[in-house]
Amino acid sequence: MEKRELYEIKNNTVVRKRRFCPKCGPGVFMAEHKDRYSCGKCGYTEFKKK
Protein backbone atom coordinates (compact mmCIF):
# COMPACT_ATOMS: atom_id res chain seq x y z
CA MET A 1 0.00 0.00 0.00
CA GLU A 2 1.27 3.45 -0.86
CA LYS A 3 1.16 6.46 1.47
CA ARG A 4 -1.31 8.33 -0.69
CA GLU A 5 -3.87 5.56 -0.10
CA LEU A 6 -3.88 6.29 3.65
CA TYR A 7 -5.32 9.79 3.24
CA GLU A 8 -8.36 11.39 1.63
CA ILE A 9 -9.30 15.04 1.11
CA LYS A 10 -12.86 16.10 2.02
CA ASN A 11 -14.00 19.71 2.21
CA ASN A 12 -10.39 20.97 2.05
CA THR A 13 -9.34 18.90 5.08
CA VAL A 14 -7.20 15.80 5.27
CA VAL A 15 -9.00 12.67 6.48
CA ARG A 16 -6.90 9.73 7.64
CA LYS A 17 -8.33 6.35 6.62
CA ARG A 18 -6.43 4.17 9.10
CA ARG A 19 -6.32 4.05 12.88
CA PHE A 20 -3.40 5.43 14.86
CA CYS A 21 -1.58 3.31 17.41
CA PRO A 22 -2.71 4.31 20.93
CA LYS A 23 0.79 3.62 22.33
CA CYS A 24 2.89 5.29 19.61
CA GLY A 25 0.50 8.19 19.02
CA PRO A 26 -0.52 10.19 15.95
CA GLY A 27 1.51 9.49 12.85
CA VAL A 28 1.93 5.75 13.36
CA PHE A 29 -0.79 3.84 11.54
CA MET A 30 -2.02 0.41 12.51
CA ALA A 31 -2.23 -2.34 9.89
CA GLU A 32 -5.68 -3.80 9.30
CA HIS A 33 -5.87 -7.57 9.10
CA LYS A 34 -8.87 -9.87 8.77
CA ASP A 35 -9.32 -10.34 12.52
CA ARG A 36 -7.15 -7.65 14.13
CA TYR A 37 -5.36 -4.29 13.96
CA SER A 38 -1.64 -4.26 14.67
CA CYS A 39 1.14 -1.70 14.98
CA GLY A 40 4.31 -2.48 13.07
CA LYS A 41 6.41 -0.23 15.26
CA CYS A 42 5.64 -1.42 18.81
CA GLY A 43 3.64 -4.63 18.19
CA TYR A 44 0.44 -3.43 19.88
CA THR A 45 -2.56 -5.53 18.72
CA GLU A 46 -6.32 -5.03 19.00
CA PHE A 47 -8.65 -7.83 17.95
CA LYS A 48 -11.81 -6.98 16.01
CA LYS A 49 -15.13 -7.68 17.64
CA LYS A 50 -17.33 -10.19 15.87
What's residue 38's pLDDT? 97
The DSSP result for 7-28, as a single string, is EEEETTEEEE-SPEETTTEEEE
Please give the average pLDDT of every successive group of 10 residues along the chain, which has 50 residues. Answer: 86 92 92 94 93
For the full predicted model, state whether its pTM sits above 0.75. no
Query: Which whole-number Å values give the CA distances from 15 to 6, 7, 9, 29, 42, in the listed order?
Result: 9, 6, 6, 13, 24
